[in-house]
Amino acid sequence: MLERLLITGAAGGLGRLARSRLKHLARTLRLSDVAPMEAPGEGEEVIQCNLGDRQAVRDLVAGCDGILHLGGVSVERTFDEICEANLVGVYNLYEAARAAGQPRILFASSNHTIGFYTQDVRLQVDDPHRPDSLYGVSKCFGEAMSSLYFDKFGQETALVRIGSCFPEPRDHRMLATWLSPDDFVSLVECVFRAPRIGRPIVWGVSNNQATWWDNSSAAFLGWQPKDSSEAFRAKIDAAMSVPDKDAVDAVYQGGKFCAEPIHES
């Protein structure tokens, strides 16, 4: 069991899920976000903090022996917004971890690091990045940062390229990208319980019948996703029509992010 697990992005969708479902991983959960959060319960600490504030992040990470890094901009935004949270913030986090004895990090990366691959391609974790947005580029930066700190200092990070983690898949594309909340929870458990992880890249995706990603290199973690998006196919078919074969969300793995403009400040 960990002593103190830091969860960044604790006010967000996955952060709230982690707060409610992962208490058993650590004696204390340290919950942090730039946004307000619910008051601390038993075994919890709540610290409001901007990832862009170097000293605050250093103080935040001190005393933690695990970090579930969910905080940051999670969709396409202006470069300046992304820069503070996902570039400066990630540098601050890795430097703070270095100063704090290198707690293991689970970095919430994204399928948008590879979003411009077409949906007929089956990807391995070491295929080159093809980001589909500035957001995707920022996740590539985070992955590169973890590589630098692993090679230079031995900092362990699990890079989890999350597909679409919501209670249910929301459209036809998500039949291939869906990660169920239960499978997310079991993946985080595996990452923090494994004796040694190094720096694996893991596709954060459930046991869906439709799939674009090969997770065999992460088998050593012992993670076995149990849910499948097939259970929702009929519901999605009834709720919306299948996208035209030339539509962006039928062509590219990153779907509509591929058609986003560059947002101006």
Measured from each CB, the residue nearest to ligand 15L is 164
The single residue of 91, 94, 117, 135 carrying the catalytic annotation is 135
135 in catalytic set: yes
Pick the piece of the chain touching ligand 15L (CB under 6 A) from 29-37, 104-112, 201-209, 221-229. 104-112
Indicate the Cα dihedral angle 144, 15, 225, 97, nearest 10°.
40
Position among 28, 32, 92, 111 found at the interface with ligand 15L (CB under 6 A): 111
Three-state DSSP at 258 gives helix
**CB of 151 or CB of 211, closer to ligand NAI:** 211
Closest C-alpha to 145, from 188, 215, 97: 97
> Residue 85: which of ligand NAI, ligand 15L, none does it interact with, CB under 5 to 8 A by kind?
ligand NAI
**Pairing mode of beta strands 44-48, 66-69:** unpaired
Q: Please tell me whether residue 112 binds ligand 15L under the rule CB under 6 A.
A: yes
Taking the C-alpha atoms of residue 88 and residue 50, their distance in angstroms, rounded to an integer, is 10
Closest C-alpha to 262, from 137, 140, 144: 137
> Residue 33: which of ligand 15L, ligand NAI, none does it interact with, CB under 5 to 8 A by kind?
ligand NAI
H runs (alpha helix) in 35-170: 54-61, 79-82, 89-99, 134-153
> Residue 51: which of ligand 15L, ligand NAI, none does it interact with, CB under 5 to 8 A by kind?
ligand NAI
Contact between 147 and 129 (Cβ < 8 Å): no
Q: How near is the Cβ of 120 to ligand NAI at its closest, in Å? A: 22
- The CB density around residue 20, as the number of other CB atoms within 10 Å, is 10
Q: In the chain, what are the helix, strand and coil shares in percent, each to the nearest 5?
A: 40, 20, 40
**CB of 69 or CB of 112, closer to ligand 15L:** 112
Q: How near is the Cβ of 227 to ligand 15L at its closest, in Å? A: 16
Q: Print the binding letters for residues 61-90 with ligand 15L: x by CB under 6 A, - otherwise.
A: -------------xx---------------
Measured from each CB, the residue nearest to ligand NAI is 12
Q: Print the binding letters for residues 173-202 with ligand 15L: x by CB under 6 A, - otherwise.
A: ----x-------------------------
Q: Please tell me whether residue 253 binds ligand 15L under the rule CB under 6 A.
A: no
Taking the C-alpha atoms of residue 104 and residue 65, their distance in angstroms, rounded to an integer, is 7
- The CB density around residue 79, as the number of other CB atoms within 10 Å, is 15
Task: List 213's β-bridge partners, or say none.
Answer: 123
Interacting residue ranges for ligand NAI, rule: CB under 6 A? 9, 11-15, 33-35, 50-52, 70-74, 84-85, 89, 108, 110, 162, 164-165
Interface positions with ligand 15L (CB under 6 A) = 74-75, 110-112, 164, 177
Q: Which residues are catalytic?
A: 135
